[in-house]
Structure 1
Amino acid sequence: MGQWLYRNIVEPGKLPLLLALASFVLTFVITRVVVRLIRAGKGPFGNVKAGGLHIHHVVPGVVLTVIGGFGAVGSGRYGFGAALSAVLFGIGVGLVLDEFALILHLDDVYWTEAGRRSVEVVVVTAALVGLVLGGFSPFGVNDLSDQELQDRGTVILTVAANFLLALLALSKGKALTAVFGVIVPFLALIGAIRLARPGSPWAKRFYRRRPRARARSSLRAYRHDRRWAGPSRRFQDWIGGKPDDELARSLPQRR
């Protein structure tokens, strides 16, 4: 294990990335545990306030991200400074992305359906960083041989082709497939050749006068969502907590 860690992480200079990923995931997990305890009224924790103003944890997250980011730029890839900057950056990103939905909506939607976006972004971010840490380079350039790497034209064509496939998958409403397709070219190819989701830019442009294609697209999306929506929601609830019931949120609070 020690030899593998040195050859694959330390020697290539990936230790700061590993520390950033570990601190990012750990911060998110601890943060979610704390806020769920606050929500349940358990434990010694409580909301942070200053002069009656609720200070969301995205605020210290931004501060730590800035400190860690500039520290990483100034310290290089090796040494204690790089490791400390990576940890601070990972903690800051964990705090920021845990409230990604709040930033997106400019509203406190933490315990609403919209708040699920934070969990989705955190999972995708952790997965992508994990893939990079495991040796995958963007656009699959790592799969090229030494001879191919010397041929800049081949590299450029490979990058451009996979980028176009990822954009095509994104235009078909397959955001996650497009994101992961940047790292794994096969996924981008699958997302590019399959039917577009209803309401996507591709469907609006090319399925407008093709009723059979629209029907097939809607049927496939319905079957996909019916199969995966339940497990996906349970997984998100397990990680981030179940959102408040919309009806309960709309009722006036008793005093």
Structure 2
Amino acid sequence: MGPAERSVLVAWSTFTTTFTATRAVTHWIRDGHGPASGGITVGGRHFHHYNIGIALLSAVGAVALRGQERHRRHPVTAMAYGAANALIVDELMLLLDLKDVYWAKDGRTSVDAAVGLIGVGGIYLAAAPFWHRAARELASTAVHRPA
């Protein structure tokens, strides 16, 4: 497995882990447990975790644009990318509707989107070596085919 495949695997794994942990923590907080019962507040206003995701994506973008090559495919960069996307996707409907539907039926779309991304990511990662070999095989037979 090369650096690109490793980065994708780390990002996808971190997305899955972060999304699962975020769902668990938000349910735990909503049920009135823990010191942050009701979530994080800043200046008396609820602080949504998609803000953390946006900040992380900004940092990853800065690394992509100005970072050294060894930092671009570093596991920490891939982890930040995966975690950032999970935090944003978890509250996707809030961003799309601009109203807090996190616990409403409409908020289920965010969960469905994340589960879909996790599934598609897993299928891609599981099948990528096969498809890459198949594409190389097709390309080599097309090049060597007599006219």
What is the TM-score when the length of structure 2 is the normalising length? 0.80
Structure 1 segment 40-59 matched on structure 2, within 5 A: 40-46=31-37, 47-59=39-51
**Misfit runs of 4+, over 4 Å:** 78-81
Give secondary structure in 1 for the equivalent of 2:4.
coil
Q: Distance in 1 between matches of 2:61 and 2:81?
A: 6
Q: Which amino acid aligns with 1:32?
A: R
Q: CA deviation at 1:13?
A: 3.2
Once the two structures are superposed, residues 128-169 of structure 1 have per-residue CA deviations (whole angstroms, 9 ceiling, x without a partner) of 2222322438xx6763453x32559xxxxxxxxxxxxxxxxx
Q: Which amino acid aligns with 1:117?
A: T
Change beyond 3 A, Cα 1:69–1:20 = farther
Q: Distance in 2 between matches of 1:36 and 1:56?
A: 14
- Contact 1:49–1:55 (CA<8 Å) still a contact in 2? yes
Q: Percent identity?
A: 31
Q: Which amino acid aligns with 2:77?
A: S
Q: Does 1:26 align with 2:17?
A: yes
Structure 1 segment 87-166 matched on structure 2, within 5 A: 87-136=79-128, 143-144=134-135, 146=137, 148-149=138-139, 151=142
Q: Distance in 2 between matches of 1:20 and 1:141?
A: 20
Q: Which amino acid aligns with 1:41?
A: G
Q: Which amino acid aligns with 1:31?
A: T
Relative contact order, CA 8 A, sep 6+: which one is greater? 2
Change beyond 3 A, Cα 1:18–1:116 = same
Structure 1 segment 61-100 matched on structure 2, within 5 A: 61-72=53-64, 74-76=67-69, 82-100=74-92
Q: Which amino acid aligns with 2:75?
A: A
- Contact 2:93–2:110 (CA<8 Å) still a contact in 1? yes
RMSD: 2.5
Q: Distance in 2 between matches of 1:141 and 1:88?
A: 27
Unaligned runs of 5+ in 1: 1-8, 153-255
Q: Which amino acid aligns with 2:98?
A: L
Q: CA deviation at 1:67?
A: 1.1
Give secondary structure in 2 for the equivalent of 1:136.
helix
Q: CA deviation at 1:75?
A: 4.5
